[in-house]
Amino acid sequence: MANPGFFQRQAHARRNTGLLIVLFLTAVTLITLAVCLVGYMVTRSQSSPLPFHLWLLSSHGLATAAAVVTLISVGSLVRWIDLGGGGSRVARMVGARLIEPDTKSAEERKLRNIVEEMAIASGVSVPELYVMDSETSINAFVAGYTPGEAVMVVTQGALSQLNRDELQGVVGHEFSHILNGDMRINVRLIALLAGILMIGQIGQFLLRAGFYSSGRTRSRDGRAQAALGILGLALMIIGYVGVFFGRLIQAAVSRQREMLADASSVQFTRNPEGIGSALFKIGLKSGYLDSTSHASDMNHMCFGESARMKFTSLLASHPPVNDRINAIQPGLLARLRSRLRDTEPGANLRQTGAPADRTRLGDLVSQVAEPVRGRAGSRLSPLQSSFNENLQPPPTKLSTRVGTVTPGSEAYAARLLDQLPSTFRNLLYTRAGAIQLCYGLLTYHLPDATQKEHLSLIEKHSMLGLQEELLGKLRPTLIKLGEAARFPVLELAMPALRKLDPDERHALLTNVQRLVAADNRLSLFELALTTFLNRHLAPGAEHAVPVKHRNYRSVLPAIERVLSLFARAGSTSEGQSVKLYREAMAGFCNGTAEVTTGKVSVNELKAALETLSRLSPLLKPAIIDACGHCIMHDGKVDVREYELMRLVADQLDCPMPPL
Helix (H), strand (E), coil (C) string for 219-236: HHCHHHHHHHHHHHHHHH
Rounded distance, CA 605 to CA 57, Å? 56
Cβ burial of 566 (10 Å; 0-12, 13-18, 19+) is: buried
Rounded distance, CA 260 to CA 6, Å? 11
- Domain-by-domain residue ranges, the chain? 420-537, 553-651
Residue type, 77: L
Element (H, E) at 349: none
Q: Which residues are 226's β-sheet partners? A: none
| Inter-residue contact 73 to 44 (CB < 8 Å) | no
Rounded distance, CA 648 to CA 24, Å? 36
Q: CB 640: neighbour CB atoms within 10 A?
A: 15
Of the candidates 108, 128, 174, 542, the residue annotated as catalytic is 174
Rounded distance, CA 566 to CA 452, Å? 33
| Inter-residue contact 291 to 132 (CB < 8 Å) | yes
> Among residues 500, 428, 384, which one has the least CA distance to residue 126?
428
Rounded distance, CA 484 to CA 419, Å? 13
**What DSSP designation does 549 have?**
B
- Looking at residue 536, what is its pLDDT? 86
Query: 650-653 long-range contacts, Cβ below 8 Å, gap at least 24?
Result: 650/123, 650/148, 650/532, 650/535, 651/531, 651/535, 651/609, 651/610, 651/612, 651/613, 652/609, 652/612, 652/613, 652/615, 652/620, 652/623, 652/624, 653/10, 653/146, 653/147, 653/545, 653/613
Rounded distance, CA 254 to CA 30, Å? 22
> Among residues 657, 656, 651, which one has the least CA distance to residue 558?
651
> Among residues 600, 596, 616, 630, which one has the least CA distance to residue 555?
616
pTM for this predicted structure: 0.79
Q: What share of the chain is helix, strand, coil (3-state, %, to 5)?
A: 65, 5, 30
- Looking at residue 310, what is its pLDDT? 61
| Inter-residue contact 202 to 194 (CB < 8 Å) | no
- Looking at residue 368, what is its pLDDT? 37
Rounded distance, CA 345 to CA 520, Å? 73
> Among residues 5, 4, 6, 287, which one has the least CA distance to residue 124?
6
Rounded distance, CA 419 to CA 109, Å? 17
> Among residues 124, 210, 132, which one has the least CA distance to residue 413?
124
Handedness of CA 438, 442, 446, 449 (dihedral sign): negative
Residue 221: alpha-carbon gap to chain centroid: 55
| Inter-residue contact 399 to 626 (CB < 8 Å) | no
Angle among Cα 579, 581, 582 to the nearest 5 degrees reads 65
**Which segments within 363-446 are labelled E, that is strand?**
none
Q: Catalytic annotation on 468?
A: no
> Which of left, alpha, beta for 346 (phi over 0: left; psi -120 to 50: alpha)?
left
Listed in sequence order, the residues at least 6 apart from 166 whose beta carbon sits closer than 8 Å to its beta carbon are: 274, 275, 277, 278, 281
**3-state class (DSSP) for residue 590:** coil
pLDDT in tens, 337-350: 888 776 655 544 44
> Among residues 168, 122, 132, which one has the least CA distance to residue 153?
132
Q: Name the stretches of the chain with pLDDT < 50.
A: 1-4, 214-219, 347-394
